[in-house]
Amino acid sequence: MARQVRYASDMPIMGLGTYGRRGREGQAAIEAGLEIGYRHLDTAQDYLTEEENGAALRASGLQRDEVFVTTKVRTGNLGPGKVVPSVRESLDTIGIDKLDLVLIHWPSPNGEIPLPVYVEQLAEVSALGLSRHVGVSNFTIALIDEARDILGDVPIYTNQVEVHPYLQNRKLVAHCHSLGISVTAYQPLAHGSVAEDAVLTEIGRAHGAGADQVSLAFLMQMGLSTIPSSARKERMVRNFVAQEITLTDTEMARIATLDRGWRRIDPAWGPDWD
Ligand SMILES: NC(=O)c1ccc[n+]([C@@H]2O[C@H](COP(=O)([O-])OP(=O)(O)OC[C@H]3O[C@@H](n4cnc5c(N)ncnc54)[C@H](OP(=O)(O)O)[C@@H]3O)[C@@H](O)[C@H]2O)c1
């Protein structure tokens, strides 16, 4: 039976990451996620899982407006005149009329394409009604500020970035929040590495929970949305029910000390992180 969904504005606080969920097995895993209660699917042109997301959505029997769907524009589609057609293609691939959220997946590597070129096209995606919201991913404070100036009154809905107990990204999070931009934490389990953490494990004992679940609860209590992913149903359930955990201030403060600036996704061509 579907569990209760918590929302951050109109986006569920916890979504399902769908990187790697390809083919029939991938589709089945996304369907399992929807059955568990996930109501936000996070895909990307680069993941090649847009089709599986659309198929799972249709197979679920849920109404389109019950599920928040995010995709991301790949780097190869950032050039002049490319963003809007690529979003139309994503809509076709997923099999829906409108997205809930379209993100620029990464700022153009080494700044090869000037930021205004693709951010202006993101505003066009919004103006054309191809997506209810637009936003960015892997943007730094400086890039957020530059994008805001270009977008004018089109709000940046979220900045999707790596955040977990070992990389808490507090300066960037505070900056986004001060501007009313939500932050979505990707790799919230540091790709599974937090599951063995001794401090998180100890804190979890008081809540009848595991270190993995404490990590997710910590992020949500920091005011972030998050999109953990798993191919396994039992883990999808564990992750989802982490929404029910409330950590004390002391526990939050203790987890804050685990930050070691450990960035897992750090391509050489990426931006100058804050
Ligand atoms: N915007 C971006 O640039 C960007 C970058 C990376 C990721 N993302 C998004 O964020 C989503 C999540 O990131 P991610 O998948 O890289 O990392 P993650 O959610 O932190 O970790 C997933 C990994 O941890 C394992 N895992 C899942 N639940 C677990 C649990 N409860 N206990 C222990 N291990 C667990 C999974 O293995 P099993 O599958 O075997 O369970 C998988 O190997 C992606 O699917 C994608 O949608 C976005």
Concatenate the DSSP letters of all residues of the chain into one string.
-PPP--EETTEESB-EE-TT--HHHHHHHHHHHHHHT--EEE--GGGT-HHHHHHHHHHHT--GGGSEEEEEE-GGG-STTTHHHHHHHHHHHHT-S-EEEEEE-SPPGGG-S-HHHHHHHHHHHHHTTSEEEEEEES--HHHHHHHHHHHTTS-EEEEEEE-BTTB--HHHHHHHHHTT-EEEEESTTGGGGGGG-HHHHHHHHTTT--HHHHHHHHHHHTT-EE----SSHHHHHHHHHGGG----HHHHHHHHTT-----S---TTS----
Residue 191 CB–ligand 1 contact under 6 Å:
yes
Tokens found for residue 205: 């004992």
| Test site for ligand 1: of 45, 68, 229, most ligand atoms within 8 A of the Cβ | 229
Structural domains counted in the chain: 1
Q: What is the pLDDT of residues 47-65, one digit of tens each?
A: 999 999 999 999 999 999 9
Instruction: Judge whether 251 lies within some domain.
Output: no
Residue 114 CB–ligand 1 contact under 6 Å:
no
| Test site for ligand 1: of 189, 215, 224, most ligand atoms within 8 A of the Cβ | 189
Instruction: Judge whether 236 lies within some domain.
Output: no
Q: What is the pLDDT of residues 74-104, one digit of tens each?
A: 999 999 999 999 999 999 999 999 999 999 9
Instruction: Judge whether 69 lies within some domain.
Output: yes
Instruction: Judge whether 206 lies within some domain.
Output: no
Residue 190 CA to ligand 1 centre (angstroms): 7
Instruction: Judge whether 235 lies within some domain.
Output: no
Instruction: Judge whether 210 lies within some domain.
Output: no
- Out of 19, 38, 47, 118, pick the active-site residue: 47
Residue 192 CA to ligand 1 centre (angstroms): 7
Whole domain around residue 22: which residue ranges? 7-191+224-230
User: Pick from 135, 84, 139: which is nearest to 106 by CA?
Assistant: 139
CATH code, domain with 124:
3.20.20.100
Q: What is the pLDDT of residues 116-153, one digit of tens each?
A: 999 999 999 999 999 999 999 999 999 999 999 999 99
User: Whole-model pTM?
Assistant: 0.97
Q: Tell me if residue 47 is catalytic.
A: yes
250/255 Cα distance (integer angstroms): 9
Residue 231 CB–ligand 1 contact under 6 Å:
yes
Residue 230 CB–ligand 1 contact under 6 Å:
yes
Q: What is the pLDDT of residues 160-217, one digit of tens each?
A: 999 999 999 999 999 999 999 999 999 999 999 999 999 999 999 999 999 999 999 9
Instruction: Judge whether 262 lies within some domain.
Output: no
Instruction: Judge whether 22 lies within some domain.
Output: yes
Q: Do the beta carbons of residue 117 and residue 149 sit within 8 Å?
A: no
